[in-house]
Structure 1
């Protein structure tokens, strides 16, 4: 028996440019349709509605006082789908007779929304009351996933301000982490924005999500690695290599990926060089932390003689002294330990320390052995009890059987930084075939730590960019080749009107935004439009005035760089006042303008209480 599915379907359309409630026509003729012809994502959702699905006719709005607003749903009809022709435009429905309209405090603002919450299903389709404190359950796909959903490893969401890039980023993050379709996540959390944010934060606290914002001062040293000053216990400054956010997350993702691979019989172990670089860097971090606390890490030679670590240099060199003969300090470089690590699995494998290690070269072989022993003890202390135990700790949230848990690095405002400098040589490693396990797997040596670095296949990069600041075409060419791009355009159809169409105070917010954007695209380009997100929570005239004062008009001022006449061409005379001014100027300083001439002076009355008619005049042009 198939699991029943449920959908909430919008009823407001604008066939002749005027918003019309189609409920009566749908109920009388036994069908439902939409007016978003050519909109691929809407048509795809319509085609996905199966015969037998239960559907509800709805309109959504926001209710309540300022600061206590609640998304509401008005249910106008209930029925069962009897036929889906597959054209993406309509379905035939057997509507239940005599369904009295009712309202519920839930959202579902999209034209077509899937209803997954069991509480909402019971309330909308079966007349059960919603719990006082709606205990919403974790949403899972109604059908078991039979084939893998492949997402790009690197992608950027781009579009004008206010187009919902932040919310889409959260939905994409969950889609990437859990291997789900983006549209399915959007529908699942359509009216549960806070639950979506909480889920992303849950992943962040578990270390699978990191956020970073690029800006003009952000550098390679912040993103990958750099030498940073650290206060020492003696009041002086030490300089050590500090990992950036990308290197830290890549290392963690690779460690979990390798732990998962180690649980497979056919998995190949990492080469010794790569294991050494990562392990030794972590070991040096541990030693540095002890030194910062005023402690001297103590090692022991094969003969049991103690030696203290005094300092960790930026290049990974350790400075030590023998406790019993502290007259001389010894410097042991990273490369000498690398040679031992490559040849021996454990310290006990070295039968004759002096003889065998002298063949490898380097100073003070007894201290080399002590460092190697300390490194191996450090590895043993942090190694999980079973090969894939660390992956198992995260796996319950990943929901991807047989695959290593995924990691997501979110880069906000990626176009505001100098991408070529921030990524440096690592831009090449982002390509799928250059990552660990890829056909052309690459290792690059980092400039400060001198360690090898690779990017694992379970690390995803998700960027956002505001096209009003910079267009996609202006991005670094190397970045554009390695990232996929998802355009986020304004969606006026998501906006609910203020008041019913028959009300004198009715305002068609959808048409208002659409007309403004048509003018902006004509005067500027498609990158300089206004997004729908600013108007989503508008419930009355005061809200609309506030959005225009605080967001719309300041954004237009930025777009047109003080060309007030252009703003007037977009909004009209109610929002940009023009008066003629004559001013007497001091003579002798400008031959082109001596004063006395009439000039147009523009003024935007931000303190004016614009009326409904003023806003309607924006889109009711002759």
Structure 2
């Protein structure tokens, strides 16, 4: 197999002057040009430039690449139409634990790559949100770290998604560490922009009545408590991309849920029954009493002078080390949906340690995140799927783009029955006509003819099974233009790959299988072009 002669010096030039190595780069070009093939060299140029400088062969490069993958220095993912934020960053995933369905919040491949690059990112806990746990109050591991309870903490009872005993919405809110309510008949808007007089009475309680450090009881069913937690943040208007929440439940308060999956009678816990309203203050019972009856150890009190809940402390950052995240077919996914708020953090000047560094709070886990400048993102993009000009503007601004065009000069000249078939000229002639009829972004890559048997059946199979289907897609079954690409109008009929006939005044086309067995049919694709036309020595 002949290897494409990638310009290794150009790749090494980026490594020689380290500040010039692009943190975010995309290799783009038509299909079959070796974009994924070049990714191996790009990764080695970043992670082991001295090895690459020794000009190893392809087998050695691939072996070194595999070693780096095994060491956790390289991550690989392929985008597709169903790939989303939950897969890439973080998401709630259903799991079976002890025969019961639970929901857990899991980190995606991007957060794992951030951590592998030495970024400071708190790890997810092992807590899960049970969908339905039929059990009496049980010994539950005490929360760590403990939330701060206000010295004069109020006790509140809330319904989320009504009193149904099982609710997917309620489970999701629990997993997110929140309590949420709907609009109460008001128009959807941020309640921080609304005066207290304009708010629904329950909305005013949710925004202003509930205080940081108060205890909240979640009811799921008449007079049944299923969870208990401490409010840890002020009101937030938080529409999300989650279809379960974004239409109605956009008003949020952060809660550290101490116990979930309970089934405790309200009268035993508080000495009274609950009213049917969404949010109710439970009077004449202290937070300490409720916690004691649930078997939860006393919580530390929040200092009256403290105006903010204790911040989550990120785990200590590991040593800075380069990590390469490879995203194959980056343009096949919905980039805005997949990256979310991360698209800003990827920008070189917004990376951790830079003068304009930014940190965001992840919407599900509420963890702070900044992207280290030791994380390199290398993407590949097939321009036949989507033109570069149509790519998301935010992505284009934050990535450098490296073109990877067809290289017909790496192909062979075959000698079949004493006659030369020049695959270089064959591919060049096809691409020259495609570029004229369509665009440069929709050509045929050299890989289509690179690894084929060196005989006529091998070339015929590549044309029939690889190139023709691609041309059908490019030209939307316009067989007249496909004939032009193969120069069939200038051949004798028996040597035309696609024959054209008029039947009843209409043009009809058919594949001529006999032409695939004629060497001259392939040579005539390029034979009308002079040797001066080709950018290589003919």
Give the TM-score band, short-chain normalised: 0.5 to 0.7
Partner of 1:543: 458
Contact 1:158-1:466 within 8 A present in 2 as well: yes
Give the secondary structure class of the aligned counterpart of 2:354: coil
Give the structure-2-normalised TM-score. Answer: 0.62
Change (3 A) 1:232 1:253: same
The offset of 1:521, in angstroms, is 0.5
Which structure 1 residue ranges, 5 or more long, are not aligned? Answer: 1-61, 63-70, 72-107, 115-140, 259-277, 303-310, 320-326, 341-357, 371-378, 392-403, 583-596
CA offset digits 1:229-273 (Å, max 9, x no partner):
2223242x2223222211222133234xx6xxxxxxxxxxxxxxx
Q: Does 1:576 align with 2:497?
A: yes
For the residues of structure 2 that align with 1:164 and 1:531, how far apart are their CA atoms?
8
Contact 2:475-2:481 within 8 A present in 1 as well: yes
The offset of 1:483, in angstroms, is 0.3
Partner of 1:413: 329
Contact 1:317-1:334 within 8 A present in 2 as well: no
For the residues of structure 2 that align with 1:411 and 1:113, how far apart are their CA atoms?
21
Q: Does 1:599 align with 2:460?
A: no
Relative contact order higher in (CA < 8 Å, ≥ 6 apart): 2
Q: Does 1:176 align with 2:46?
A: yes
Which structure 2 residue ranges, 5 or more long, are not aligned? Answer: 146-171, 180-214, 216-224, 235-253, 257-285, 302-312, 489-494, 530-538
Q: In the alignment, which of 354, 369, 393 is matched to residue 477 of structure 1? A: 393
Mapping 1:502-541, distance limit 5 Å: 504-538=418-452, 539-541=454-456
For the residues of structure 2 that align with 1:301 and 1:570, how far apart are their CA atoms?
68
The offset of 1:447, in angstroms, is 1.2
Give the secondary structure class of the aligned counterpart of 2:517: coil
Q: In the alignment, which of 176, 181, 188 is matched to residue 55 of structure 2? A: 188
For the residues of structure 1 that align with 2:64 and 2:22, how far apart are their CA atoms?
21
Give the secondary structure class of the aligned counterpart of 2:118: helix
Change (3 A) 1:516 1:366: same
Mapping 1:324-473, distance limit 5 Å: 330-332=228-230, 366=297, 368=299, 391=319, 404-473=320-389
For the residues of structure 1 that align with 2:456 and 2:520, how far apart are their CA atoms?
11
Give the secondary structure class of the aligned counterpart of 1:314: helix
Q: Does 1:486 align with 2:402?
A: yes
Q: In the alignment, which of 467, 475, 478 is matched to residue 563 of structure 1? A: 478
Contact 1:241-1:314 within 8 A present in 2 as well: yes
Change (3 A) 1:506 1:564: same
Partner of 2:116: 252
Contact 1:223-1:246 within 8 A present in 2 as well: yes
Change (3 A) 1:241 1:110: closer
Change (3 A) 1:533 1:599: same
For the residues of structure 2 that align with 1:328 and 1:580, how far apart are their CA atoms?
76
Contact 2:103-2:131 within 8 A present in 1 as well: no
For the residues of structure 1 that align with 2:143 and 2:323, how far apart are their CA atoms?
39
Q: How many residues align?
A: 383
CA offset digits 1:136-172 (Å, max 9, x no partner):
xxxxx9xxx9864631000100001110111101111
For the residues of structure 2 that align with 1:250 and 1:328, how far apart are their CA atoms?
36
